[in-house]
Structure 1
Amino acid sequence: MKTTEEQYDLVIIGGGATGAGTALDATLRGFKCLLLEKNDFAEGTSSRSTKLVHGGVRYLEAAVKKFDKSQFDLVREGLKERYRILHNAPHLAHAMTLVTPLYKWYEIPYIYIGLALYDLISGKRRLGKSRIVSKNEIMKIFPSVKKEGLAGGVRYFDGAFNDSRMAIALLQSAKKKGCVVRNYHEVLSFEHEAGKIKAVRVQDKINESQYLVRADCVINATGVFCDDIRRMDDPSVSPIVEASSGIHILVDKKFLPNEEGLMIPKTEDGRVLFMLPYLDKCLVGTTDEEAKAVDHPEVKEKDIEYLLRHMRKYFSIDIQKSDILSAWSGLRPLVTLKHTADTKELVREHYIEESKSGLITIAGGKWTSYRKMAEDVMDVVQKTRREKDFKKCQTKDFKLFGSETPLKITQEKIASMALETSVKEHLIQAYGTRALDVADFIKIYGAEKLHPAYPYLRAEVYYAVAHEFVETPLDFLVRRCNLGLIDTVATQTSLEVVTGILKEVFAWSDAKYVKKLHEAKQILDNSI
């Protein structure tokens, strides 16, 4: 244990979307804040989303059918948050058009009216105007769509984003404002005084040491693992979340040869299926079913076959398992509240609870609502802790790291560099204005690619270690450059090079290098 204990106003457990958003909100309000993550930041659910930022069309359908104002308000709130993500991180988020092919003529006006209402609720934040699309136009845009029985379709707008890099931008923003953020630091236990949590015992998994952190308040933002932390505080608590598994597969762009996405609203068992452009590939997902909360969920064969079967059902394409470039599974935390009859909180999709010892848990939600979730939980913190004069929420218009200033000057400078066009585009999309910082590393380490087919550079690994909290090979390959999410074979090819750079930077022994390489290969063999 360290000889001196650390002291903070607030300790946040969990380095995914909710934890990162809360760290930024708390720091901007004036809290001395520490964020702890037992693995890498956004390693779980927050890097395995469908990459959409949406208001929630399904809530709108429920609101209209049931005359439910709370569902209506949820849609309106989601659309506001969608706009804020696109506005506050424009290098990482953008508008996307989605087309829904329909095979029953009466579905076309029904769904179009719903989407027109979706646009109306968006108001000035609308990303585009929904419209009916003819059969011929759909066949022109998506030549492989099944033509038999096709009646037409609808086109609407939502947002798309890079989830894992959004999490890093949030953490970089929080750190810049004074927050301390640590990945690979696991909370082992709480220490109580007079029934209240006063300290957190932490395991530093990098240096294999323990230390104690004293805190006025602790927030549990650990997603599907939130009940583990709650039981650490009080073994008698009833669970409040269930894990739901969703898988995605990545295939070649030829299966979706444009920048529009496809959305199938109801498959044979009522699930929603997406085919979306993502990092010059085609992303297909997602299925949802009950699952156990584990660090590295495996991709099941039956789920892969489910997606392939539906691609064959809706498209005239001969797609095989061998066409899959990458497959990964993510776990969503669904709030259940089975222990209470009062489920009105579920309308908000997220739930906040304060235990008798003072542990505050925020559970559920989705990426689109991360900022609002952070605002809500920090409002709870401030209401119950009035001894210090903290500010109100500052995040509604806060520009995230890489979007602090307009991109034009950065784009001009990057454009003048002797780099491949694909590399220049990647630098702007991944780093925004911070692409110039990466350019400084390129000047030192050169512009050699990690893999000839992709725009990711060796120099970026050095930058990511210095500025993006990278500790292991897959931190970079999966969650910083995202190669691991789109091409497993290319990731395996690049693994030794990246691990070698980390060996150099961290002065690893030969034995530690072999260990880290083996650990990464094991994860790649099962799931990303």
Structure 2
Amino acid sequence: WFLFYLALKSDEFDVLVVGGGATGAGVALDAQTRGLKTALVEYDDFSSGTSSRSTKLIHGGVRYLQAAIFGLDLEQYRMVKEALFERANLLNCAPHLSYPLPIMLPIYKLWQVPYYWLGIKAYDFVSGKRLLKASYYINKEQALERFPALKKDSLKGALIYYDGQHNDARMNLSIILTGIGHGVKAVNHTKVEKLLKDADGKICGAAVRDMITNEQYNIKAKAVVNATGPFTDSIRQMADPDAKPICQPSAGVHVVLPGYYSPSNTGLLDPATSDGRVIFFLPWEKMTVVGTTDASTPVTFNPMPTDYEIEFILNEIRGYLSKDINVRRGDVTSAWSGLRPLVRDPNKKDTKSLARNHVIEVSKSNLVSIAGGKWTTYRSMAEETVDTVIKACNLTPSNPCVTAGLLLMGAHNWYPLLHIRLVQDYGLDEDVAKHLSNTYGDRAFAVAGMCRVTGRRWPIVGHRLHSEFPYVEAEVRYAIKEYAMTAVDVIARRLRLAFLNTYAAHETLEKVVDIMAKELQWSNAERKSQLEAARLFLNEQMGQNARALSLSNVPLYLTHDEMKAVEEKFNLLDKDRKGHITVNDLRRHFKEHSQKIDELLLHELLNEVDLNKNGEIELTEFYQLYSGLKGGQISQNRLVKYLEEIQQTSAIPVFRSGGGV
């Protein structure tokens, strides 16, 4: 890091990229491998915005091809063809992070069979030699065997086609790390405060601020690329205060459900939701990702899913799943909102319509802005952007574009059975070894080498961060080598726990912060600040607050006896019979049972149940909590879990133990 900062402050670069998402990372890698001296700055963390909040698909866009065929739209056809080429390239360049996924399109009306069959076969045809696997039709019985949770009524059969799936944030990071390996000077948590201009009014760099140390410095560059996604206009207006906005962000919400909602190897596509969109229902990281919605939204650094959007998605999937399955609000383990950077093309006279593809703009001051597009086509967008930069800023590359076919970090010596070597060489649990292999590729050996001895017969090494997930403590230490600077960087993007299960993320947070504090020599104040920021992130951006709102609308499902039992639990905490529970009551209860609970966590536990937000838990709120657990509006609650653990570990009285000997 120190060498990076020295270079950023003292060197002049050919290209400075602003934005560390997929597109910005791709531009930096492309420029550097052409022999252009390149730097990259990211305001938050690499992939902290839209690029980590996708549907996790690498796809050509089936619905775009449908529009191209029936609307005779050549632009859409070319867009699909380009995306299918890039899909194949990405699957080949990072096979440890990406893989083909069969997706089922259920059919409930006979006329849909030829209609969808023609569309899917056209998708195969356009894929050409890059076809992953040929699509095919299966009958009702085969569809239900493959996807048992599917609604049986009126089901005629299903089509199976193939697209790609990946770990988006890790893929983004892999592009960044590959760029760094080739010489890119990339830093995160660095804000561009001003664009620098020469005497002719041309941009020649940027004034930036390190958001960790608060240090300010200038970066000199012959060309600056604006790759900030939904924040495109804010950088454009730094270059030209009169620039008209071209970005119109759209929010897309996804929810995560337990893995048992979907088969481990087949996704589902709902081609026509009630609002005219498509919804994907996909297995991912042993969980189920469902999305997405589409609604105009103001630009924000902290997009939050609403309970309305979450319920909309749940209602849509209820229509496709068996009536025997109760799709519960409480089964949602995480939810997030991502901003799509939809843009108007400033180069066209019709500025009202949104561009279907990406847009590249060169301002009068030579700022090159790249906006729009899809995750799948990040590489071709980057190639086109660098071509534009070279022409607009008179740069002289030493090489042509080489990113098509360029292996990303971790891919060079990776093979599908690499996890077996990890088990044999290090004594890791098999699921941990598979996770390390599929996350770090051939770099998994470096992570395994950092794992510490467990002191047990098996596994020999690898202390888990959480019993239900394959993440290990060594990954937190390794994440710092991957430029993780905050606890959120780790739980959300180096590990994906925040996106998979917010409760598990909350439960591992203290351990993560303790490891980072030791490695980065954080003070107690910094440790506390990191915990607060991470908990706020989980609550606001990962759906916890939306869950609390849904709990406030829970009707009481409890019987008289159940209400009496809940009241007894309440009175164990409210010993002085005030009629409400405070943080002091929780602190006293845990202390009496020799449980050490962090002060911040105490406030978190109370806040999750405190629906009125008055700093107290009243009996009616306690009733609603347990009613929600019974009715399925919530699947778990941390306070209840802690209280049950205390009850289970309490000493057994002699009369119940049989007297003992």
**Bin for the TM-score computed over the shorter chain:** over 0.9
Aligned equivalent of 2:64, options 59, 62, 73: 59
Indicate the larger mover: 111-120 or 58-67: 58-67
Distance in 2, matches of 1:136 and 1:408, equals: 32
Q: 2:228 is matched with which residue: 201, 222, 231?
A: 222
| Equivalences for residues 255-266 of structure 1 within 5 A | 255-266=261-272
Name the residue aligned to 2:562: none
Aligned counterpart for 1:383 among listed residues 391, 394, 398: 391
Structure 1 equivalent of residue 52 of structure 2: 47
Give the match's secondary structure for 2:195.
strand
Q: 2:188 aligns with which of 183, 188, 200?
A: 183
Change (3 A) 1:4 1:424: closer
Judging by fraction of residues, say which structure has more strand.
1
Report the TM-score, using the length of structure 2 for normalisation: 0.77
User: Aligned runs of 1:357-376 on 2, under 5 Å?
Assistant: 357-376=365-384
Structure 2 match to 1:144? 149
Give the Cα separation in 1 of the matches to 2:364 and 2:354: 22
Q: CA deviation at 1:149?
A: 1.8
2:443 to 428, 434, 437: 434
- Looking at structure 1, the residues matched to 260 and 347 of structure 2 have their Cα atoms a distance apart, in angstroms, of 49
- What stretches of structure 1 of length at least 5 have no aligned partner? none
1:471 aligns to what?
485
Q: Supply the AA of the counterpart residue of 2:430.
A: T
- Which of 449, 453, 456 matches 2:468? 453
Aligned-residue offset at 1:338: 7.0
What TM-score do the two structures reach when normalised by structure 1? 0.96
**Partner Cα separation in structure 2 for residue 451 and residue 314 of structure 1:** 33
Amino acid at match of 2:521: A
**Could you tell me how far 1:285 is from its partner in structure 2?**
0.7
Q: CA deviation at 1:441?
A: 1.1
Q: Which moved more, 1:424-433 or 1:189-198?
A: 189-198
Identical counterparts, % of pairs: 40
Contact 2:411 2:442 (8 Å CA) reproduced: yes
SS at match of 1:84: helix
- Work out whether residues 5 and 211 of structure 1, in 8 Å CA contact, stay in contact via their aligned partners in 2: no
Equivalent residue number for residue 251 of structure 2: 245
Q: Distance in 1 between matches of 2:434 and 2:201?
A: 54
Look at both structures and tell me which one has the larger radius of gyration over its CA atoms: 2
How far is 1:259 from its partner?
Answer: 1.2
Whether contact under 8 Å (2:208, 2:219) holds in the other structure is yes
The answer (yes or no) to whether the contact 1:119–1:129 under 8 Å persists in 2 is yes
**Which of 358, 371, 389 is 1:350 aligned to?**
358
Counterpart in the other structure of 2:623: none
Verify: 1:292 aligned to 2:322, yes or no: no
Tell me if the contact between 1:70 and 1:347 (Cα under 8 Å) persists in the aligned partners: no
Report what 1:420 is aligned to. 429
Does residue 201 in structure 1 map to residue 207 in structure 2? yes
Of the two structures, which has the highest relative contact order with CA contacts closer than 8 Å and spacing of 6 or more?
Answer: 1
Does the aligned pair in 2 maintain the 1:403–1:433 contact within 8 Å?
yes
Specify the code of the residue in structure 2 equivalent to 1:367: W
1:36 aligned residue: 41
Aligned AA (1:19): G
TM-aligned CA distance change 1:188 to 1:314, over 3 Å? same
Q: Deviations over 1:32-70 (max 9, x none)?
A: 111000001101100000000001112211221122222
Deviation at 1:4, TM superposition (A): 5.5
Distance 1:440 1:166 in 2: 22
In the alignment, the residues of structure 1 paired with residue 104 and residue 97 of structure 2 have an alpha-carbon distance, to the nearest angstrom, of 22
Point out the more displaced range, 301-310 or 441-450: 441-450
Partner of 1:511: 525
Q: Tell me which of 501, 512, 517 is aligned to 1:487.
A: 501
Q: Which amino acid aligns with 1:432?
A: G
Name the aligned partner's letter for residue 493 of structure 1. Answer: E
3-state secondary structure, aligned to 2:158: strand
User: Residues of 1 paired with 2:10 and 2:216: CA distance?
Assistant: 11
The aligned runs of 1:82-121 (5 Å cut-off) are: 82-121=87-126
Query: RMSD over aligned Cα, in angstroms?
Result: 1.9
C-alpha distance in 2 between matches for 1:460 and 1:4: 31
Secondary structure class of the residue paired with 2:293: coil
Shift in Å, 1:525: 1.0
Give the secondary-structure state (helix, strand or coil) at the position aligned to 1:368: coil
2:586 corresponds to: none
Q: What per-residue deviation string (whole Å, max 9, x for no partner) do you get for residues 357-416 of structure 1?
A: 010000001110000000000011122344524311110010000002342684453131
Structure 2 partner of 1:10: 15
Deviation of 1:120 after TM superposition, in Å, equals 1.2
- Number of residues paired by the alignment? 527
Report the 3-state secondary structure (helix = DSSP H, G, I; strand = E; otherwise coil) of the residue aligned with 1:241: coil
